[in-house]
Structure 1
Amino acid sequence: MVATSDNNSQINISWNAVGGATSYNVYKSQNPDTGYEKIRTTTETFYQDKDVQPGIRYYYKIIAVQSGVESAFSD
């Protein structure tokens, strides 16, 4: 997964496709170890998070979904 910011108003997240995945759940936290909340379900391998504040560090994890079953968190 790659996360970049072009400015202080959004973070662009992209990841590699997982074979057989029908969608991906995007999770976000301000703590790298806990507190992840699902912010989006998408069929794409990218997401633009526009709900960000300057000066705050965000952490993301992606979960592949196949036939309604989630994989483990990405690293």
Structure 2
Amino acid sequence: MTMTSVTSNQVGFKWDAVKGATSYNIYRYYAKIATVTINSYLSNPTLKPDSSYIFNVSAVNAAGESAWSEKFTIRTNKEEA
């Protein structure tokens, strides 16, 4: 995973595309929060400042869903003064 953006209330990341995948499921704290069709994700701007969030990603195609990626943690920035 590569972080693409981090603010006080939003995070973005990307990962290597999986051959044959038609979509990807995004999990935060082990609950599915989104399905995307490209190998990147930008969260809603509703995260708490200076907080850590755990994410996993899985690939999906007609055969089903892959195993989840290793978990990774992203910490939001502190709120601007």
The question of a shared fold, defined as TM-score above 0.5 by the shorter chain, is answered with yes
How large is the RMSD of aligned CA atoms in angstroms? 1.4
Partner of 1:19: 19
Q: Deviations over 1:26-72 (max 9, x none)?
A: 0001xxxxxx1101001011111123111220011100001050000
Partner of 1:69: 64
The structure with the largest strand share of the pair is 2
CA distance in 1 between counterparts of 2:6 and 2:67 reads: 29
Say if 2:36 is the partner of 1:42: yes
- TM-score normalised by the chain length of structure 2: 0.76
Partner of 2:7: 7
CA distance in 1 between counterparts of 2:9 and 2:63 reads: 32
Unaligned runs of 5+ residues in structure 2 are 71-81
Q: Structure 1: which 4+ aligned runs deviate by more than 6 Å?
A: none
Q: Highest Rg: 1 or 2?
A: 2
- TM-score normalised by the chain length of structure 1: 0.82
CA distance in 1 between counterparts of 2:4 and 2:53 reads: 11
